[in-house]
Amino acid sequence: MPQNDPDSLEHVAGRVEALHDHFKQSKDKMVGVAGPNPFGDIRHPDERPGEPHPSEHAVNALHSFRDRMHGQFDAAAHLMNSTGGALREAARVLRETEAAAADSITVKDGSLD
């Protein structure tokens, strides 16, 4: 007979839900073009003098990438929350099932007579 362990399920649920926070923190660290470039000046593709900033196309591409990645992080965080909730619900159902079974056990060998 398989052994069910609701406490372990709840422990795993907590660990999975913690991933939600990690995804949110990672999302916050992913920014577009902000502040000085750590790799030095990025010149406009036309090599125009006096323009050490990225072109509008590069900025738009980076912002688009950032926005899509933020969507992926949000989806993953939502999935972790849902999975944690499902695990907690499974633990609750196991506890209720075990309690109901304990109340309705029938002894057939006559040892309690």
User: With 60 as the cut, is the pLDDT of residue 5 above it?
Assistant: yes
Q: Residue 41: inside a domain, yes or no?
A: no
Q: Residue 106: inside a domain, yes or no?
A: no
Tens digit of pLDDT for each residue in 36-82? 665 556 665 666 655 556 667 777 888 899 999 999 999 999 999 99
Q: Residue 77: inside a domain, yes or no?
A: yes
- Length of the chain (residues): 113
Domain with 79, as residue range(s), is 6-33+54-98
Which of 1-5, 7-11, 28-32, 95-99 shows the lowest mean pLDDT across its residues? 1-5
Residue 24: Cβ within 10 Å count: 14
Number of domains in the chain: 1
CATH assignment of the domain containing 61: 1.10.287
| 112/76 Cα distance (integer angstroms) | 54
